[in-house]
Chain A
């Protein structure tokens, strides 16, 4: 039995060591690492913009605000279809220099911060590492961290904050 346990432990230990390989590969593939990759990495833009739409979702029977009609395909599907009214409250462009970003005061008193962190690993179209956080008025983290690999002009959503008989829906899109 002792031999059996040892055999099992060795097999699993080697397997566990194997788990480290993808991690180390991830570090090796980081934009600043030098590697013998076949194609040169795309240049990292020194600055992007974060276009932020802040919408108020309720069930007031008001439909979708014409100013966010382009988001209708998403807003009419779950989980957004739980609400029938989407009103645009804020449309703001935040300049996001590499390593930095901007912040936006939200209607519920919290603050959204968007940070552009550089080029993300991607096999196809370029993706950009973007971090978003939301903190409350006292500085306490409400959403401590969200990091995405964002494609230009493709939004991602942050939703769920309670606000005035509904919720806030944030659509964040990185643009040049």
Chain B
């Protein structure tokens, strides 16, 4: 069975994959749970965002934007050919339009990664700038109310991590641990 490409997975999530291929891809996913989980996450994400957009706006901007692109494309096709200038060649125009689509896609991918990161990261949890090799495994954040919380940290060229220890009462105390090679 041919593994699905990234575009096919996108089409699957959007429900735009043709029926035969969709069945194949679903069978492939059934045999690859990690990929299936990723697709499920993406389906959930787009369903949630789409639902939110429907609730807020009740419109689909896609049709409008596609129509605008088609109108622009038609105008370009009907325009008289300009004098021979390299930047005005049809191939260059098409390349520029392709570049625009790629740019939009890149922005979309970056935004998706940011959103995924924000959703999957623990709420307001401080993040170590780099990995750390602590002397022991730290206690995870305790459920008690934090007494003091870390808002930002920059370990510079060192590696470090943030731990939480429980104090005398139920409050947790942050420990900013800076990794440093031991002195001889």
- Give the interface of A toward B (CB within 8 A): 1-16, 19, 70, 73-74, 77-82, 120, 124, 127, 129, 134, 141-151, 154-163
Contact = CB atoms under 8 A, between A and B. Distances in A.
A138 to B, nearest CB: 14
Contacts, number: 177
A80 B112 CA distance: 38
Contacts of A160: 160, 177-180
A77 B150 CA distance: 19
Nearest to A141: B156
Given A74-B175, A145-B153, 19 more contacts: A6-B104, A9-B108, A16-B110, A73-B167, A74-B166, A74-B167, A77-B165, A79-B136, A79-B165, A127-B148, A145-B152, A147-B152, A148-B174, A149-B148, A151-B148, A155-B148, A156-B148, A157-B175, A160-B177
Contacts of B65: 6, 10
Contact of B182 (A19, A150, A162): A162
A15 B105 CA distance: 14
12 contacts: A9-B105, A15-B112, A16-B108, A16-B111, A19-B115, A79-B134, A79-B165, A143-B178, A154-B167, A157-B175, A158-B178, A162-B181
Interface stretch (B6-14, B27-35, B88-96): B6-14
Contact of B107 (A3, A13, A19, A82): A13
B49 A15 contact: yes
A152 to B, nearest CB: 9
Interface residues of B, number: 63
Contacts of B177: 79, 159-160
Question: What are the 7 closest A-B residue pairs judged by CB atoms, nearest first?
Answer: A16-B111, A154-B147, A82-B135, A160-B178, A9-B108, A12-B108, A145-B154
Given A11-B53, A19-B111, A161-B180, A146 B167 contact: no
A6 B178 contact: no
B118 A148 contact: no
Given A12-B112, A79-B136, A161-B178, A7 B148 contact: no
B31 to A, nearest CB: 25
B147 A147 contact: no
Contacts of B120: none
A86 to B, nearest CB: 13
Nearest to B135: A82
B99 interface: no
Contact of B178 (A13, A82, A159): A159
A19 B154 contact: no
A78 B152 CA distance: 22
B121 interface: no
Interface string B152-171: 11111010100101111001
A120 B118 CA distance: 22
